[in-house]
Structure 1
Amino acid sequence: MPRKRPGALRAEQSLRAVRGLPPERIHGLSARTSVVIDRVETFSGDYYVHPGATDRALRRYRAFLRPPGRRPLYPQDAECSCRGCSFDDVRHARDVLEKVLRQLPPRPRAQLGRHVRALDAGYVGRTLPDPFAADRQWRPDLWWRRRLAG
């Protein structure tokens, strides 16, 4: 029976797991929650949920809401759909956060959920509803996709 080469096995694992380092701590979350999120990201079968995706999604969501003022914000579509460029669209970042939230155990889900809910409130306050979202969006069932985009 053929077996995988050692290099191929190591490539499948995250570098942190190979080196025995703890995962990077996500800003605003406890170390325990960060470890659980890293485990979920590592073993997720979703293409867009990979180690570091939750931290990147939270940073992107915060950055979108950061500009001061009261002017409405309009999410922009990403230029391409690869893992890196897809986070240019804040709606995709929110999609990733939702996927991770669904896979977490209760306590880490509650802690991450509090941060996401606070960001959601800012998102609702700074974006405008799209009355034609059912016709334009491929996922009109998600409330964050029913907002006007640029």
Structure 2
Amino acid sequence: MQGAHGARARACAPPPRIHGLSARASLAVHRIEARSDSWYLTSGATDRALRRFRAFLHPPGRRPLYPQESMVTSCPGCAFDDVRHARDVLQEVLDRLPPRARAELARLVRPLDTALRDRTLPDPFAHRRQWRTEFWWYRRLADPSWE
């Protein structure tokens, strides 16, 4: 397609870079999101998951943090109220990415996982629940006001 001045016009702008990822890894993530048939893995979900994960861990101090259950789990955006959902999204993307992009995203997620383990408490009754306990982030104590 030729523009008014003969310059080649882009069909569409490149997707925005995800903070902390290279342009190449960001593009790989955007491709995964665009091709996904997952209800939660929509355009921009990975960036939103990283931002939610960082925001959850942001309060300074050593006091324990408690993930909160989302009140509206049927809403893809509202599900991010629960940091564990954000971690689910990141895991789904990690599982689908090619090796180099996976390694790059894993380097961002690894310290967040460490901080989540350090700032949350193990749930001694998690083994009694049958919902999502295959992931370690669901075996942490959640906000007691929601349960």
The TM-score bracket by the shorter chain reads 0.7 to 0.9
Which residue does the alignment assign to 1:110?
A: 103
Which residue does the alignment assign to 2:81?
A: 88
Within a 5 Å distance, the mapping from 1:45-84 to structure 2 comes to 45-81=37-73, 82-84=75-77
Deviation at 1:60, TM superposition (A): 0.2
Q: Which amino acid aligns with 1:61?
A: F
Unaligned ranges ≥5, structure 1: 1-17
Q: Deviations over 1:4-29 (max 9, x none)?
A: xxxxxxxxxxxxxx951101110011
| Structure 1 residue 124 corresponds to structure 2 residue 124 | no
**For residues 132 and 42 of structure 2, what CA distance do their matches in structure 1 show?**
22
Normalised by the length of structure 2, the TM-score is 0.88
Normalised by the length of structure 1, the TM-score is 0.86
**For residues 66 and 11 of structure 2, what CA distance do their matches in structure 1 show?**
41
Deviation at 1:134, TM superposition (A): 1.9
Same amino acid, percent of matched pairs:
63
Change (3 A) 1:27 1:137: farther
Unaligned ranges ≥5, structure 2: 1-9
Give yes or no for contact 1:75–1:91 (8 Å, CA) kept in 2: yes
Q: Which amino acid aligns with 2:55?
A: A
**For residues 100 and 11 of structure 2, what CA distance do their matches in structure 1 show?**
28
Give yes or no for contact 1:137–1:146 (8 Å, CA) kept in 2: no
Within a 5 Å distance, the mapping from 1:35-54 to structure 2 comes to 35-54=27-46
Instruction: Looking at secondary structure, tell me which structure has more helix per residue.
Output: 1
Count of aligned pairs between the two proteins: 133
Q: Which amino acid aligns with 1:57?
A: A
- State the secondary structure of the residue aligned to 1:119: helix
**For residues 51 and 135 of structure 1, what CA distance do their matches in structure 2 show?**
35
Runs of 4 or more off by more than 4 Å in structure 1?
A: none
- State the secondary structure of the residue aligned to 1:147: coil
Q: Which amino acid aligns with 1:33?
A: A
